[in-house]
Amino acid sequence: MAAQRVCAEAELAVSTAMKVVLDGKPIAVVKDSAGQVHAIGDTCTHGDISLSEGFVEDSTLECWAHGSKFELATGKPLNFPAYEPVPVYTVTVDGGDVFVDPDAVITP
Ligand code: FES
């Protein structure tokens, strides 16, 4: 399936995350502190926690439950207790809208 519009870029403030579900996949759409938009799997690999309820810091998204930080570009956790990466999806910003392709997994 092709990329799907998830929101207007203006709806996503810097250093915030928004949960969307595309094709049944929970995805965190995140604008990092530099203003770049990312999309990663929303479910923490340590527990059934929505990462979009966590904290954006620089280019990471931190799980609020036990503090693992996931790198937005790679989906990799930078610290325990999570040790498995979340998927990373292709994001396109076009005409002020954000599009995510739920089939285009960049990593792992
Ligand atoms: S549930 Fe996310 S770090 Fe434990």
Go through the domains of the chain in sequence order and give each one's CATH number: 4-105 (2.102.10.10)
pLDDT in tens, 58-102: 999 999 999 999 999 999 999 999 999 999 999 999 999 999 999
Pocket of ligand 1 (CB under 6 A): 44, 46-47, 49, 63, 65-66, 68, 81-82
User: Which residues are within 8 A (CB) of 22 and not within 5 positions of it... i.e. 6 or more apart?
Assistant: 4, 6, 100, 102
State the residue for tokens 């979340």.
86
For residue range 13-27, what is the model confidence (pLDDT) as tens digits?
A: 999 999 999 999 999
How many whole angstroms separate alpha carbon 3 and alpha carbon 91? 8
Cα(74) to ligand 1 centroid in Å equals 18
How much distance in Å is there from the Cα of 43 to the middle of ligand 1? 9
**51 CA → ligand 1 middle, Å:** 9
